[in-house]
Structures are given as C-alpha cells and as structure tokens.
A = this chain, B = another copy of it.
Amino acid sequence: MTNTQPAPAPENSAQDLPTLKVAVLGAGTVGTEVLRLITEQGDDLAHRIGGRLEVIGVAVRDMARDRGPHVDPSLLTDDPSALVREADLVIELMGGIEPARSLILQAMEHGAAVVPANKALLAQDGATLYEAADRHGVDLSFEAAVAGAIPLVRPVRESLAGDRIDRVMGIVNGTTNYVLDAMARTGASFDDALATAQQLGYAEADPTADVEGHDAAAKAAILASLAFHSRVSLADVHCEGITSVSSQDIAAAERMGRTIKLLSIVERVPGQDGERISARVYPALISSEHPLASVSEAFNAVFIEADAAGSLMFYGQGAGGAPTASAVLGDVVSAARQRLRGGAGLRESHYAALEQIPLEQLRSAFYVSLRVQDRPGVLAEIAGTLSSHGISISTIHQQLIEEDEDGSASGQGSAHIGITTHRALESSMTAVLDVFSSTSTVLGVDSVLRIEGE
C-alpha cells in the first residue's frame, strides 16, 4: 500500500530560519550530551522549532580540560554572567544553588527563557524562580529535574490539567532502587549492595544525597507543587532514607508477597477542615503485584492516580547524561518555539495554596519487626498495647531465635515477631513505639516500615 496523501508542500530549508542564541551553563555529564544532541540533531531541531539553535557559549570552571568532540573549545567561557546577558535561551546544567540561581534570575531579567535540570535549586527555592519567570514573562521549564528522561512535568502540568490528581507515588532515585533491587535479588546487605552499586557507577563516592532520600525529597517537592498547584519546598517534605533497611526486612517483605521501594509520595488528604496535602519520602512495602514493584535496577517509574484518568504509570531512565539531555532538549524545543512566536508558555500557578498535613496526622498501614522475650503472654501484651492505641493487627509472624544474640535477655529465649497493622495514625504508632521502648517485654524494635498502595 502506498501513501495516498498529496506530496508535502515544500517547507523552508532549515538554513533560512531565524536563529536563537543559546547559552549552556556547564559541560559535565548532562551538558556534553546536550551539546551532542544540538549538533547531531541540528537540522531536525530547526524544523521542529522553526528556527536554528546557535550555541553562543558554554560556561565551565576549568577552561583547560578537554571536553570531547561535541564541545567546541572556542565556545568555552568562565564568565557565565556575561554569557547569559547575550542569550535568548539559557540551559542551566551546573547544579548547586549559587551561582546557578543568580545566573538564572539574571537571564530572566534579560528576557531569556531558562531550562534548568537543577532539582536541588528548584526544590529549595522554586517559588523565587517561578515568580521571576512570571514577572518577566519568560519560560521556565525543568522536565529533566524530576525523573530524567521520563516525561512527567509536562504530563502533570498539561495532559492532566483538566483532571484532578489525587496521588503521585514514584521511584525517582535510581541509586536507591538499584541498591534495594540488588538486596532483593542477591540477599546482600545494604553495605555490600551499596559498594557494588558504587563499583558499577550507579552510586556516587559520597552517596549521602541518594541513600538518605534527599534527592527523592527534592523531586517530591517539585512534583507536589505541580500536581497540587501549591507551594511545596524541600523543607516541607518528610524524608527517611534506606540506610536502615536490612536484609531481614527484604526477606520479610518477600515472605509477605511484597517488596521494599524508596517511594516519593505526594497526595491530597481530605479532612474535616478541608483538603490538605502531604509530601514524603520513605522506604515502604508495596505488593509485588503493584506496577511499581517490578521496576528493577536503576530505572525510575511514577504512578499517578487521577480522578478521571484513573491509574497511569510512566517508566524509564531517571538519570544519566543522554536520557537527561533528551528531557532538556524537549524543553528547549518548546521554549524556542514559544520564543519565536512571542510570549511565554505555561506559567506556574499556586492558586490552590493547599496546606501541608503534618506526618503525625497521616494514617498508614505499618509493618513492625520486634525482638521480644520468648514467654507466654508476650503476644497478648503487645496486641493489647497496639489495640489500646487504636491500632488493629492485620497479621503476625513469629520466629524463635535459636541463639540468644545479644545476651540482653539474660538467659531467657527471645523471638522475632513481625506484625502488619491496618491503617493507623502515625502519632499512635509513635506512642506505641514509646511504650515498646520502655517495657522489658520488647527487647528491641528492629524496623518500622509503612505499607503503601493497597
């Protein structure tokens, strides 16, 4: 079968098109890939934009370092401030708070559209940037800052703009997903899995920002702002990392038909005084049947529940030079098109201004793993403590400990018990853990994990 459409009308050759001056701040992992795409896809980009991108400079710190075949050395500069004053479009790939923030604000003041991949800055001080973009009538787009290559900002801001997002639950940090997945696959401890991840380049030498959940929390803040049209910054996000997840926890999860993932969760919480929102990050148990459970290695995925759309999931590579550059360039094409047409695209709105609900007031189902004295009546005592705090037990799993590991039980045998609860107030669970810490029946609380998505 052949194409029965009329031949396309001849379009302008890409050479005749207007030019947009692009400043690239940073030529590291992402910057070099962005420059590669701009070079290799030049003609395609020109057609899609209706104009050509001309890179007028690339700001770096070290002018001497060789940056490979895609970075023209004559474009390098160590004066980013002079560079942004000349640009129509500024791509910020330096990272960090300063000088990135000042340069972005300066660029906007000069009327340039800005595309930052800088999740740290957006999470910490997004409001300042949104406000400046609005004031100067310029585009600010940051698809790359949330989940790398996965289109997420645009679907949330635009595709779901006619719907009501109730909850977003994402695996948005590749390092921690790699570590947890390796622990589950191999039975390795956290430390060993992390060491392997570092050897393979999935974790940095200093993994703090990833394993402590800070990176995932930054993304949760950005997502919550977009999904709920409210100002949410990093400081608003409750954040727990994965450093205390043990191989025992992983094994217990598997026994329950669940798996442990570091989740960034943002959701609307209805209440008597109106609706509030919650943004939080912690390792949680999810059913092995949940679409997020099968996200392996360093992949990212984001699960969205919306009123009309129902459940949606987006899956892909959340980091890496090329995937992140793909997201950056998508924003660059949109901003460039808008720019040539005059005016800015989407303005960030925080009209809803929903309040945050403190973690203590949330309700979750819990998994609690305890070391207890092995004597009659212990289970009844623990169940009684939970019940007196309004927490009802869903399942109990008990296991005798052969050897008395720490001697603290002074000759008595001890046992592990794993309890899952129905949904209960965080503050009630905190109170219960206080009781456990002061009773001789409970020798130790090994872990407390929330159960999500059920």
Contact = CB atoms under 8 A, between A and B. Distances in A.
B310 A291 contact: no
A343 B341 contact: yes
State the number of copies, please. 2
Q: Determine the interface band of chain A, counting residues with CB < 8 A from chain B.
A: 35 or more
Interface string A1-28: 1111111100100000000000000000
A309 B331 CA distance: 13
A37 B315 CA distance: 28
A3 B236 contact: yes
A231 B309 contact: no
A196 B341 CA distance: 52
Interface string A340-359: 01110011011111011000
Interface stretch (A106-114, A159-167, A254-262): A159-167
Contacts of A2: 236, 356
Contacts of A294: 294
| Residue from A161, A164, A311 having most chain B Cβ neighbours under 10 A | A161
A267 interface: no
Contact of A313 (B33, B37, B315): B315
A344 to B, nearest CB: 8
A48 to B, nearest CB: 5
Nearest to A128: B5
Nearest to A291: B315
Contacts of A334: 158, 161
A133 to B, nearest CB: 14
A312 B315 contact: yes
A337 interface: yes
A53 B408 CA distance: 69
Interface string A236-256: 111000000000000000000
B155 A155 contact: yes
B163 A158 contact: no
Given A322-B310, A327-B309, A163 B37 contact: yes
B5 A233 contact: yes
27 contacts: A1-B236, A2-B236, A3-B231, A3-B233, A5-B127, A5-B233, A37-B163, A41-B164, A44-B352, A45-B161, A47-B349, A48-B161, A48-B229, A151-B155, A154-B154, A159-B327, A162-B325, A162-B326, A162-B332, A308-B322, A309-B326, A309-B327, A310-B317, A310-B322, A314-B315, A315-B315, A343-B343
Interface of A: 1-8, 11, 33, 37, 41, 44-45, 47-48, 50, 127, 143, 149-151, 154-155, 158-164, 229, 231-233, 235-238, 291, 294, 306-317, 320, 322-323, 325-334, 337, 341-343, 346-347, 349-353, 355-356
